[in-house]
Amino acid sequence: MARRSGQNGYVERKGDWYHVRFRIDVAGQDKREYRSVPLCPVSGPDKLTKPERQRKAREVIAAAGANSAALFEKIEAINQGNTFQKQAEWWLSYLQTRRRRPIAPATVSGYKSYFKNWINPVLGDLPLASVNNLVVKGLVAQMVGEEVSAKMITNVVQVVKGVVASAVNEDGEQLYPRQWNHDFMDLPIVTDQHRPSFTSETVTAIVEKAAGRYRALYALCAASGMRIGEALGLEIDKHILDAGLTLHLRQKAWNGQIHSFLKTGNARREIDLHSSIAQMLVQFIGNRKSGLLFCTESGRPLSPSNILSDSLHPILKKLGQPKAGAHAFRRFRATWLRMQRTPEDLIRFWLGHANKTITDGYSLLKEDSQFRRKIAEQVNIGFEIPASEPDVAPKTAICTQTTSLSTLP
Please name the CATH architecture into which domain 200-407 falls. Orthogonal Bundle (1.10)
Q: Is the pLDDT of residue 179 over 80?
A: yes
Q: Are 312 and 326 in contact (CB under 8 A)?
A: yes
| Half-sphere exposure at residue 29, Cβ-oriented, CA atoms within 13 angstroms | 8
Q: What pLDDT does 402 receive?
A: 43
Cβ neighbour number for residue 20 with a 10 Å cutoff: 23
Task: Show me where the domains of the chain are located.
Answer: 2-76, 81-185, 200-407
Q: What pLDDT does 310 receive?
A: 93
Written out in words, the top-level CATH class of the domain with range 81-185 is: mainly alpha
Q: What percent of the chain has pLDDT over 70?
A: 89
For 310-333, write each residue's pLDDT tens digit: 999 999 999 999 999 999 999 999
pLDDT band, residue 401 (cuts 50/70/90): very low
- Mean pLDDT of all residues in 31-55: 91
- Mean pLDDT of all residues in 223-232: 94
Q: What pLDDT does 395 receive?
A: 46
pLDDT band, residue 161 (cuts 50/70/90): very high
Contacts of 305 (CB under 8 A, 6+ apart): none
Cβ neighbour number for residue 183 with a 10 Å cutoff: 7
Q: Tell me the pLDDT of the chain averaged across its residues.
A: 86
Q: Of 314 and 83, which is predicted with more confidence?
A: 314
- Mean pLDDT of all residues in 343-364: 83
